[in-house]
Amino acid sequence: MVFSEDDKRSIKGIWNKVGGHLREYGAEALERMFFVYPTTKTYFPHFDLSHGSAQVKGHGKKVADALTNAVGHLDDLPGALSALSDLHAHKLRVDPVNFKLLSHCLLVTLANHHPADFTPAVHASLDKFFASVSTVLTSKYR
């Protein structure tokens, strides 16, 4: 997947707007995902998944930080996400279908909190970005 200059501008633009809230949004996206798609909970039997859980907040922060790193390396996602890609392939082995579910919940969360900035063009660029990150994270699966 190739990011146009407009895609990069849209992605970085909304990332800057969101700023410090991103970690909160990471947690909210996870909460939505666990609630809406209960099968995703199977990957977290060791977590307290109740509302406001510290573990979910912590994990949301991890996901948010990884995405922020990716935003800083849009021209080399495989490089930037290489270690996470290995982790998902060899240790976590989260079925690829689940990345679409989390990506959808991230979009729902961002649209929810930033209605004015979540334009169709930004939505399209973000969808591409999450899809690209998902592809990289599952690229070493087989």
- Pick from 14, 15, 32, 56 the residue near another protein by CB under 8 A: 32
**In 3D, which of 37, 34, 86, 36 has the Cα closest to residue 60?**
34
Query: Can you tell me the distance from the alpha carbon of 35 to that of 52, in angstroms, rounded to the nearest whole number?
Result: 13
Interface with another protein by CB under 8 A: which range of 11-19, 31-39, 66-74, 80-88? 31-39
Nearest CB to another protein, comparing residues 1 and 124: 124
Shortest Å, Cβ 79 to another protein: 27
Cβ atoms of 18 and 25 within 8 Å: the answer is yes
Tell me which residues in 39-98 interact with another protein (CB under 8 A): none
Helices within the chain (DSSP H only): 5-18, 22-36, 54-71, 77-80, 82-86, 97-113, 120-137
119 binds another protein (CB under 8 A): yes
Q: Which residues bind another protein (CB under 8 A)?
A: 31-32, 35-36, 104, 107-109, 111-113, 115, 118-121, 123-124, 127
